[in-house]
Amino acid sequence: MSLRIVVCVKYVPDATGDRHFAEDLTVDRDDVDGLLSELDEYAVEQALQIADEADEAEITVLTIGPEDAKDALRKALSMGADKAVHVEDDDLHGTDAVGTSLVLAKAVEHIGYDLIVCGMASTDGGMGVLPAMLAERLGLPQVTLLSEVSVEDGKVTGRRDGDAASEQLEAALPAVVSVTDQSGEARYPSFKGIMAAKKKPVESLDLSDLGIEADEVGLEGAWTAVDEATERPARTAGTVVTDEGEGAKQLAEFLAGQKFI
């Protein structure tokens, strides 16, 4: 039977761009270019390698995001995923992590799954909470932050590296995994891959397709609220320490003064 892999990929504002909050203190996503979160490229790569090892497999990439989030899906399709699902709805504006996990869970159920692969964190929100929330909502085992992952005999196994030790983990499928940026370089899409991606199916869904009410998501349904935001102060010239024999001492004093050491 075909191994059904769903990879959750996020379309994020380009971190090199000038990012702002909108009036309602949500991220102004119209004001900045976006792209497939780099950390999710590792998730796509690991899914492709697992699919290569399986007798038969199908990879669906899934995103929740605005119209332009299709760019992230196209990139994942050009890397080699088979099809894509895009959840877009005006009522998603302001959805927090709890709401996002609800939508992802419903979308994953709609697609059908044996293995769900996530990145370790998004490059914008960066909370790293979605894989655990998704596993909880679906009642699945979670094997997170893997730097090595494989699937065999109905089980997913992997290695999680900590500061002091590495753990070897396994779970019976279906399961949720997240992979780190140490799991192996993500491939670049080939020209053939880019051309093929144009013909691959992208299914568009809204909240009603997933049976989700508007007040379960969006700013209204969010469990977190942003009360205030302040512009980052402009860069100042900084302190120059000229070493005339006392440089190391001055540097240490400066760092201690800033409570870095």
Ligand X SMILES: Cc1cc2nc3c(=O)[nH]c(=O)nc-3n(C[C@H](O)[C@H](O)[C@H](O)COP(=O)(O)OP(=O)(O)OC[C@H]3O[C@@H](n4cnc5c(N)ncnc54)[C@H](O)[C@@H]3O)c2cc1C
Does 4 bind ligand X (CB under 6 A)? Our answer is no
Does 112 bind ligand X (CB under 6 A)? Our answer is no
The CA distance from 144 to 154, in Å, is: 18
Dihedral sign of CA atoms 179, 184, 185, 187 in order: negative
Q: Which segments of the chain are extended strands (E)?
A: 3-8, 11-13, 34-36, 57-64, 83-87, 115-119, 142-146, 148-152, 155-161, 166-172, 175-179, 202-205
The CA distance from 228 to 54, in Å, is: 49
Does 108 bind ligand X (CB under 6 A)? Our answer is no
Give the end-to-end CA distance of the chain in Å, rounded to a whole number.
56
Least separation in angstroms between CB 159 and ligand X: 19
| Residue with smaller CB distance to ligand X, 50 or 64 | 64
The CA distance from 68 to 66, in Å, is: 5
Does 128 bind ligand X (CB under 6 A)? Our answer is yes
Least separation in angstroms between CB 245 and ligand X: 47
Least separation in angstroms between CB 45 and ligand X: 13
Size (the chain), residues: 261
CB hemisphere CA count around 191 (13 angstroms): 0
Number of residues that bind ligand X (CB under 6 A): 34
Beta bridge partners of 176: 116, 142
Question: Quick one: which of 15, 127, 252, 256 contacts ligand X (CB under 6 A)?
Answer: 127
Span interacting with ligand X, options 76-84, 124-132, 168-176, 183-191, rule CB under 6 A = 124-132
The pattern of x and - marking residues 60 through 99 that bind ligand X according to CB under 6 A reads --xxxxx-------------------------xxxxxx--
Least separation in angstroms between CB 201 and ligand X: 18
Binding site residues, ligand X, CB under 6 A: 8-10, 26, 37, 39-40, 43, 62-66, 92-97, 100, 104, 118-119, 121-122, 124-131, 224
